[in-house]
Structure formats: structure tokens, C-alpha cells
Structure 1
Amino acid sequence: MIRINLLPYRERLREGHRRRFRLLLILAVLVSAALLALAAVAIDAAIRDQGARNGKLEDAINTLNGTLRRAASLNREKQTLIERQQLVEKLQAGRNDAVRLLEQFSLLTPPGVYLKEIKPSQDGQRIIVTGMAQSAERVSAYLILLGQGPMLSDPQLDYLRDPADAASRGSEFSLSVKASQAPTRHAASEGARQ
């Protein structure tokens, strides 16, 4: 048999395999590095995009917070205006009460009773009436009539006394009565002056 030495051929074949392996290894490292760089660029772009979205959301949140503050301010202003309107309506509804009350006093005052002063009490719940009467019976009749009045109730006699001056006829009295629709202090005092 013939012997052929194939060692150099194998050596060259091994060297070719080594070169291809090194080349593939370098190529794999380069491709991996390129993929890593591409991934880093993509992640940076995603972070920038998310930051931009977050900035837009913060701007929108700030705008909405400003709108909510304005809405709360408008609600407070609206409530204040409603309260003012209700106060004006209440004053409008009660502006004639003092006149009606004085009319009640004049209609219910019997002959022989003369009123000097009509004013609200300190607490504003009652009306104090002072005057002169020809007799105690007339004051009693006046108390009964005041108790039957549509706007007046619970009349109470505070005092009834004869004047120190013997020349004057009659008795001085003071009574208080509750008004069912009590006028304001200012309105009653204005009406009493007229």
C-alpha cells in the first residue's frame, strides 16, 4: 500500500477553520455591539419620548388645576351673590312690615288711648309701646285688642301709673307686644318717628 502524508493538508484545513472561526467570532462580537448600540439608542429615544409625554401631562394637569381654582372661586362668588340676592329679597318682602305694623297699632288703638312711642325692644323680639290712657279699663281693652291683631300677639303690661301731676287726666302706661312678623330694628324706629 501506498502511504500518503496528509498532515500538511490537515494543517491547512485546520488553519482555515481557525480563520473562519475567528472571523465569525469577530463578526458576532461586532453584530452584538451594533445590536447593543441600537438598543441603547432606542431606549434613549423611548426615555426622551416618555419625558416629553410627562411634560405635556404636567402642563395639562397644571392647566386643569388652574381651571379648578377658577371654578372654586366662581362657586364662592356665586354663593356670595346668591346670599346677597336672598338678603335683598328678604328685605324687599319685609320693607312694608313696619308700615303694616303701625297701621295695626292705629287701627287697634281704642278711643281714650294715646300712644307716645313705639320702639323695638333690646333683643328685637318684642315691641314696646308707651302712652297715656284715660283709664285703666281702656288700657285693658287695648291689651285685649292687641292680642287679637293679625300681626301682634302676647301683649304684656309693663306698668300703669298715675302721673305725679294731678292736673293731667289719665294714666301713663307701657306695654310690650310680640310681632309675628317682627320688623327690623331700623325699620320699626323709622316708622315710629313718622
Structure 2
Amino acid sequence: MAHINLLPWREQLREERKKRFLVVIGGMFVLSAAIIFLGDKYFTSAIENQDARNAYIQGEIAVLDSRIKEISELKTRRQQLLERMKIIQDLQGNRPVIGHVFDQLVRTLPDGVYFTGLKMQGDTISIVGEAESNNRVSNLMRNFENSEWLASPNLTEVKALTSGAVDQNNAFQMTVKQTKPAVPTPAVPAQGGKS
């Protein structure tokens, strides 16, 4: 006998397909939600790691900036100390020079001439003085020219203090340059053959 199925199999098949479809849709939804959640966690973690790295780098940059500032301050202090040392060395080196200059001022001073003021700026000495005559001032200038420590005398002003008197005094102003004497070079002995 032939089997005839009178049950509503098409509706059951449709209901079964509908359930499978809803299960697949639900699974896809759950899978999508899980992927979105995991992706969010991953990117949040990556952002936090990058923020931590950035904070570390910013901290190191601040440390390096402070070190750079310290180095700059140390370089400035070093330069100041070097300048001070150079000034002190120059003063130490010039100490005997000043003694020689004063000695030369005394040695070159002819009779009848005296200084009323001396002022030194750099290597220029400004001299104010009085002399019994103009010839005495000329002698003083010649003596400066012949000195090893003084050179280039320049007479600025000469004026008579007492006009018409027999022993007339003259006031004068002049400048002279301080120099250092040339250091003699040792003579090199001549090399000759055997005699």
C-alpha cells in the first residue's frame, strides 16, 4: 500500500528552516558582538600602552631638558671661570710689567720735570705734569722714544703757567704707549766642518 503523508510537512519544514535561520542570525549577532567587544578591548589596550609610552617619553624628555639646562649652565659657568682665570693670569703676567713701566717713567724723567697725574687705560698712559722749560718736555719725549718699555709719545698740550717771569714753568699733557721689550733670540752657533 502506498504511504501517503497527510501531515503538514511543508509547514514543519518552514518552521524548522525559520528556527535554523534565527539560530544562525543569533549566532552571527553573538559572534559580531564578541568580535566588537574583543576589538574594543584590543584597541583600548593598545591606546593605553601608547599613552604609557608617551608618558614615559615625556618624562624622559623632561629629564633630558633639565640635563641640557644643567649642561648649559655648567658651560656658562665654565666660560666665566675661564675668563676669570685669563684675567687673573693677565694680571699675574702684567704685575712685573707695571713695575718696569713705573721704573721707566722715573728713569726717563729729566731734571726740572715732574708729573702731577698719571692715568693708564689699556696700554696708553696719560701724563699730566709741569716742566721748567719746553726743552725739558722735549728731553722727556726723546727719553720715552729711547725707552724699551715706552713708545710713541704724543704731546697734547703745553701752556705757560707764569707768563713773563724769568723762571717760567710750563704745564703739559701727553700720552705714551706701554710696550714690552723685544725678547732677544739666542744666537744659533754656526756649524762648520773640521779644521
| Category of TM-score, reference length = shorter chain | 0.7 to 0.9
Structure 1, residues 6-29: CA drift from partner, whole Å, max 9, x if none?
Answer: 662333222222221111111111
- Residues matched between the structures, number: 177
CA gap of 1:163–1:122, structure 2 versus 1, over 3 A, is farther
Aligned to 1:156: 155
1:136-155 aligned at under 5 Å gives the runs 136-150=134-148, 151-155=150-154
The alpha carbon displacement at 1:109 in A equals 3.3
Which deviates the most, 42-51 or 149-158?
Answer: 149-158
Secondary structure of 2:8's counterpart equals helix
CA gap of 1:11–1:125, structure 2 versus 1, over 3 A, is same
Separation in structure 2 between the aligned mates of residue 144 and residue 15 of structure 1, nearest angstrom:
135
Separation in structure 2 between the aligned mates of residue 42 and residue 89 of structure 1, nearest angstrom:
69
One-letter amino acid of the structure 2 residue matched with residue 115 of structure 1: Y
Compute the TM-score of the two structures, normalised by the length of structure 2. 0.72
1:66-85 aligned at under 5 Å gives the runs 66-85=66-85
The alpha carbon displacement at 1:142 in A equals 2.6
CA gap of 1:21–1:6, structure 2 versus 1, over 3 A, is farther
Which deviates the most, 88-97 or 152-161?
Answer: 152-161
CA gap of 1:162–1:48, structure 2 versus 1, over 3 A, is closer
1:1-194 aligned at under 5 Å gives the runs 4-5=4-5, 8-110=8-110, 112-117=111-116, 119-120=118-119, 125-133=124-132, 136-150=134-148, 151-156=150-155, 158-159=157-158, 161=160, 171=169, 173-181=171-179
Percent identity, aligned pairs only?
24
Unaligned runs of 5+ in 2: 181-195
Relative contact order, higher structure (CA 8 A, sep 6+): 1
Separation in structure 1 between the aligned mates of residue 22 and residue 161 of structure 2, nearest angstrom:
137
Compute the TM-score of the two structures, normalised by the length of structure 1. 0.72
